[in-house]
Amino acid sequence: MTDQVQITDSHCHLDFETFDKERGDVIARAVEAGVTRMVTICTKLRLEPQVRAIAEAHPEVFYAAGTHPMSVADEPMATVDALVSLAKHPKFVGIGETGLDYHYTAESADAQQKSLRLHIEAARQTGLPLIIHARDADEDMARILTEEHKAGAYSCVMHCFSSGAELGKAALDLGFYLSMSGISAFPKSQELRDIFASAPVDRILVETDAPYLAPPPYRGKRNEPAYTVHTAKVGAEVFGMDWPDFAAQTQANFDRLFWKAAKWKAAA
């Protein structure tokens, strides 16, 4: 393992039912592939105990929690105090995912915006990175992120970034990070790859969003953290870097943003 290129899957959903019968094997395959850290994301706060248990059971796994924008209408509104309290756990490393999704759930836009601002305040108070989901809401997303940053700085990653160039620029201008998912590796995603190529490489993360969005050659199949390698190798091509150098850069980026995970690793 010492000579193997190592990377981090900065966003996956290991608690989902599709992994129930082989969760340990999925994590083991990731480690074997060089994906030595994973952040599993809780999307409904009532499920936080199950997600936390996965992180506690596996040294390679960290976790974050929030209310996914598509669930805001059906779940209790998150509170800043609840999120701050959850963040006390040593393996809790981020706030979210939160954000705006007007593609599937535009009818709850007002509630989504309220929830987003609450999550931002929790990110401010904890110093942990905000994890953003954005779909078909670029204008409102850029506006709220900018308004809130002016009110008080916070850190943030645009998870599974597949939005337009303007939102990407707005996020980067605020000092935020963009995360490459399997979408970036799809043949028809050249426009998205061009957006990433124009970004500073020290602001790039990689992820799977497993079980969704498997990159080629697994497209259409269930995604899993081991496949982060395939997306990251496309990232290396996008930035014109050798694969080990790009992997090392994304590791440094992850450690800088997800400082609590890096600190835990150092203390372990």
Binding residues: 11, 13, 97, 133, 159, 209
Instruction: Name the helix (H) or strand (E) containing 118.
Output: helix 109-126
From the annotation, which residues make up the binding site for a divalent metal cation? 11, 13, 97, 133, 159, 209
SS3 state of residue 268: coil
Are 11 and 35 within 8 A, CB to CB?
no
Query: For residue 171, what are the contacts with CB-CB under 8 A and spacing of at least 6?
Result: 142, 145, 156, 158, 161, 177, 178
Q: How many residues does the chain have?
A: 268
Q: Distance between CA atoms of 77 and 42, rounded to whole angstroms? A: 15
Neighbours of 75 (CB within 10 A): 17
Burial class (CB in 10 A: 0-12, 13-18, 19+), 246: buried
